[in-house]
């Protein structure tokens, strides 16, 4: 960073005698409230918000059209066919569920490890998690062909005595993802209660007073309330921590339990979890770099926060790179002809382009974060994180499509051609995601005020 007028915003220095401040500028406790609540109290959101909302709603409409077209005509509107029976729907599902992992990691695991820098970003990351899981949940719901019996995914007693296959990871997925969504939502809402109460107490308009009043469920900020709040938060953090690891492990079983070469590998669960955290953090950075700028939160979501996330992206990106390499090693070392072929075909076969997009976006570009100059530069991190988002989508595409397109029997090999509706559904799911995120920015405090204040020097008066 240049040592210009904005240098006070750079708290990425490395003086070990001093803890880097997490709130910059001459902000006291009240200023934090003013800044965060100001965003939602502003009678007119910025032009940028309106433009963003218009684009998001347009994409949401595209999604709506694609889904209704799918319902009316059937799954034939997608490019799935023999031999590639799993196409964009599962790719998008895994992509979105993966993104949903950053929120819980930040709010649960970093909380248990007392990483105070999480406070600046945990609220928006959790919100992002919930919206990503909503996007993910969309795809299993619409891909079933007969949407009117979609409830058959759940083990409900019925006169047909018909149950989902309990030995199938696809059913475990239903439980894993719905549990994850429920716990994430509860966690998010629990953290929101004190902040919503602040918004309620500052609200001028009657409707806002009542609306936020109901959401704040009677929070008065008494000692007893805080005591119970902290307890509940700790319990939920402990509950969510194993979920961070379990959900994507179960998702990886969708592939690993099958016998297809390229899927049937024991490295899948840890490799998927690392990839999920990797993509989730990339999405948080992608959202927060513009959001902190447009909403004037640079003093709360500081460069140090972003740098820390970039470090995690570097670590998890390297883990993903290691997994890619290990897959090749095991394919050679295992000596199974089909397995060896599957991986050589991945890198040099008909989908070589997808494979190399994946490798360059996920393994090569994140290595730039070894350089402090680049991992603290907003444009650089934005570009790298966008590339990671692209790369992680392609990772799921590569896993799903290459293995299916050329399995054991050369006579059943075939190429996969996605259709226009495949693409509009994918793009439309971003519309759903951004619509929800923009609504969140407009109506809920996007920084956990109460928690940020606990990390400020003013919260530790003994030091003065």
Partner 1 sequence: MSHFVFPKWTNTIRLHLTVGVVVTVIYVTLLVAYGASPKTTDVGYAPEQPIPYSHRLHVGELGLDCRYCHTTVDSSPHASVPPTQTCINCHEKIHPESEKLAPLRESYASGMPVKWVRVHDLPDYAYFNHSAHVQRGVGCMSCHGRVDKMEVVYQDQTLSMGWCLDCHRNPEPHLRPPEEVTNMTWNPTGDELKARFPDFVRYLDTLENGSTLDDAAVVKQFQRHLRIKNNINPSTDCSTCHR
221 is an interface residue for partner 1 by CB under 8 A: no
- Asked if 385 and 361 count as a contact pair (C-beta separation under 8 A), the reply is no
Task: Report the alpha-carbon distance of residue 197 to residue 191 in Å, rounded.
Answer: 11
Contact between 166 and partner 1 (CB under 8 A)?
Answer: no
Q: How far is CA 332 from CA 11, 30, 341, 409, in A?
A: 47, 61, 9, 20
Q: Does 157 bind partner 1 (CB under 8 A)?
A: yes
Q: With contact defined as beta carbons under 8 Å apart, do 41 and 202 qualify? A: yes
Q: For residue 139, state whether it binds partner 1 (rule: CB under 8 A).
A: no
Residue 160 binds partner 1, judged by CB under 8 A: yes
Dihedral over alpha carbons 408, 266, 321, 302 (to 10 degrees)? 130
| Nearest approach, Cβ of residue 341 and partner 1 (Å) | 33
Q: Which is nearer to partner 1, 73 or 162 (CB)?
A: 162
Binding range to partner 1, per CB under 8 A, among 158-166, 231-239, 259-267, 454-462: 158-166
Which span (27-35, 105-113, 154-162, 174-182) binds partner 1, by CB under 8 A?
154-162
> In the complex with partner 1, which residue's Cβ is closer, 51 or 162?
162
> In angstroms, rounded to a whole number, what is the distance separating the alpha carbons of residues 331 and 368?
29
Taking alpha carbons only, the member of 123, 285, 246 closest to residue 194 is: 123
* Residue 212 sits in the site that holds partner 1 (CB under 8 A): yes
Name the minimum Å distance from CB 452 to partner 1.
23
DSSP reduced 3-state for 12: coil
Least Å from the CB of residue 206 to partner 1: 8
Of 198, 362, 170, nearest to 274 by C-alpha is: 362
Interface pick for partner 1 out of 31, 201, 298, 338 (rule CB under 8 A):
201
Decide whether 117 or 212 has the Cβ nearer to partner 1: 212
- Rounded distance between C-alpha atoms, residue 290 and residue 280, angstroms: 16
Min CB(212)–partner 1 separation in Å: 7
Q: Is 218 in the site for partner 1 (CB under 8 A)?
A: yes
Smallest gap from Cβ 89 to partner 1, in A, equals 23
**What letter would DSSP give residue 23?**
S
Among 66, 89, 264, 93, residue whose Cα is nearest residue 174? 93
CB of residue 40 to partner 1, shortest distance in Å: 16
Residue ranges binding partner 1 (CB under 8 A) = 157-162, 200-201, 203, 209-210, 212-214, 218
């Amino acid at each position: 960073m240049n040592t210009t007028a904005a240098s006070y915003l750079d708290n990425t220095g490395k003086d070990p005698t001093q803890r880097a401040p997490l709130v910059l500028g001459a902000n006291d406790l009240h200023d934090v409230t003013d800044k965060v609540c100001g965003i939602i109290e502003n009678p007119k959101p910025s032009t940028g918000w309106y433009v963003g909302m218009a684009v998001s709603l347009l994409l949401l409409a595209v999604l709506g059209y694609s889904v209704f077209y799918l319902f009316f005509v059937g799954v034939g509107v997608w490019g799935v066919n023999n031999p590639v029976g799993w196409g964009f729907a599962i790719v998008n599902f895994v992509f979105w569920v993966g993104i949903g992992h950053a929120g819980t990691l930040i709010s649960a695991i970093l909380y248990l490890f007392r990483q105070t820098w999480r406070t600046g970003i945990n609220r928006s990351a959790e919100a992002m998690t919930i919206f990503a899981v909503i996007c993910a949940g969309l795809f299993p719901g619409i891909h079933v062909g007969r949407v009117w019996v979609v409830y058959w995914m759940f083990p409900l007693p019925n006169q047909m005595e018909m149950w989902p296959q309990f030995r199938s990871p696809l059913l475990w997925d239903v439980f894993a993802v719905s549990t994850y969504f429920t716990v994430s939502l509860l966690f998010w809402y629990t953290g929101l209660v004190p902040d919503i109460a602040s918004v309620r107490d500052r609200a001028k308009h009657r409707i806002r007073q009542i609306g936020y009043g109901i959401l704040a469920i009677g929070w008065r900020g008494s000692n007893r309330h805080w005591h119970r709040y902290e307890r509940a938060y700790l319990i939920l953090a402990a509950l969510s921590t194993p979920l961070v690891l379990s959900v994507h492990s179960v998702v990886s079983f969708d592939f690993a339990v099958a016998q297809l070469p390229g899927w049937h590998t024991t490295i899948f669960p840890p490799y998927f979890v690392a990839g999920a955290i990797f993509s989730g953090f990339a999405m948080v950075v992608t959202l927060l770099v513009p959001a902190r700028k447009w909403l004037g939160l640079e003093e709360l979501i500081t460069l140090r926060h972003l740098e820390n996330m970039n470090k995690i992206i570097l670590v998890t990106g390297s883990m993903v790179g290691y997994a890619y390499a290990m897959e090749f090693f095991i394919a050679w070392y295992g000596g199974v002809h089909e397995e060896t072929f599957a991986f050589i075909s991945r890198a040099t076969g008909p989908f070589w382009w997808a494979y190399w997009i994946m490798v360059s976006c996920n393994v090569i570009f994140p290595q730039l974060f070894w350089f402090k100059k680049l991992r603290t530069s907003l444009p650089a991190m934005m570009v790298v994180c966008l590339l990671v988002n692209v790369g992680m989508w392609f990772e799921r595409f590569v896993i799903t499509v290459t293995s299916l397109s050329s399995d054991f029997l050369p006579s059943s090999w075939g190429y996969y051609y996605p259709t226009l509706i495949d693409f509009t559904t994918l793009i439309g799911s971003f519309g759903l995601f951004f619509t929800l995120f923009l609504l969140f920015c407009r109506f809920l405090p996007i920084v956990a005020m109460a928690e940020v204040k606990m990390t400020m020097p003013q919260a530790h008066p003994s030091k003065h």
